Amino acid sequence: MAATITTDILIIGAGPVGLYGAYCAGFRGLRTVVVDALPQCGGQITALYPEKEIRDIAAVPGSRGREVVAALKEQADAFGPRYLLGKQAVGLAHAPGGRPRVTLSDGAVIDAGAVVLTAGIGTFTPRTFPAGEEFLGRGLSYFVPDPAEYEDRDVLVVGGGDSAVDWTLALHPIARSVTLVHRRSAFRAHAASVREVHGCGAEIVLNAQVEALVGDDRLREAHLRVDGEADVQVRKADAVVAALGFVSNLGPLLDWGLALDRRAIVVDTRMRTTVDRVYAAGDVTAYPGKVRLMSVGFGEAATAVNNAAVVLDPALSLFPGHSTEST
């Protein structure tokens, strides 16, 4: 028989915003369960760019993704939240009295006073690389969990967004060579990062596409087709990082009766969704003037948790007090 777990706050999504939400709940003395479909905390940061330098958090001039996640988890762990990782939240019902009951993919049921959705972009899968999908695992990759694996290799990075530029900058000091290939003349990445990549010494090939990957048991070379050139350029490459973006999906959350704006969940100023006792924070939310930054998500998590706390116990103050007052 599937287990039933009772808690005050259920946080769905163990990324940075979810971890900070767990801290906020713990600070208020609320029992907290954190659920995530991924097998580890950190969300997109851990899965996609653990070595990326993150610079948009107040008072943190720059810190690697894995370090940010580790610090957030340490902060949350001070209050002992329960983590249920590698499990997806699939069903939502409300018990008599209005308490949400969330069913997980393994059949367990979480009976919560309130739910806070911090699911980011939901589940995400990489856009495929049709020019050489057969080399996946043999030189082609969509993620770079460990940059050290690219030491002394000839790397081709494909894409024009932040991930492509960030990986070029991260791998250039490590690899034998790094070439950045983009199908357009202008990048979508942050302007400061684009300036940095132009000055780092990596080769940049614009208005070009990878026509084919060639090799045997391992990838050996890439064939590039540059706009306006008759001949194909052949580049030595034993590693290709295809940073072409991701397709996201809110999955079962789409069936929870939540009001949506495109692929995001509509919330009000208290971070309430249109479903009773279900709140949301971070990139998963939509409201007028929304800015999708991690720093904004932290504030939204605090808003959601503290408003939920008052619903659970109307005698509580919405303002939680300052952490300095508890020492």
**Tens-digit pLDDT string for the chain (327 aa):** 579 999 999 999 999 999 999 999 999 999 999 999 989 999 988 877 787 788 889 999 989 889 999 999 999 999 999 999 999 999 999 999 899 999 999 999 999 999 999 999 887 778 889 898 999 999 999 988 788 999 999 999 999 998 899 899 999 999 999 999 999 999 999 898 899 999 999 999 999 999 999 999 899 999 999 999 999 999 999 999 999 988 778 999 999 999 999 889 999 999 999 999 999 999 999 999 999 999 999 999 999 999 999 999 999 999 998 887 765
Two structure tokens written together for 294: 């991690």
> How many CB atoms are closer than 10 A to CB 144?
24
- The three state secondary structure string of 139-163 is CEECCCCCHHHHCCCEEEEECCCHH
Torsion sign, CA atoms 18, 285, 251, 68: negative
Burial label, 248 (beta-carbon count in 10 A; 0-12, 13-18, 19+): middle
| DSSP β-ladder status, 140-141 and 239-242 | parallel
Using CA atoms, how far apart are residues 50 and 32, in angstroms rounded to an integer? 25
Give the annotated binding-site residues for FAD: 36, 44, 49, 89, 124, 283, 324
Contact 308, 279 (CB under 8 A): yes
Buried b / exposed e across 90-120, counting CB within 10 Å, b at 16+? bebeeeeeebbbbbbeeebbbebbbbbbbbb
The shares of helix, strand and coil residues in the chain, as percent rounded to the nearest 5, are: 25, 30, 40
Q: Can you list the domains of the chain with their CATH numbers?
A: 4-124+246-326 (3.50.50.60), 128-242 (3.50.50.60)
Distance (Å) of CA 237 to CA 86, 140, 168, 174, 226: 35, 10, 14, 15, 17
Alpha helices, DSSP H only, in 172-208? 191-199
Q: Which residues are annotated as a binding site?
A: 36, 44, 49, 89, 124, 283, 324
Q: Identify the residue whose tokens are 């809110």.
A: 250
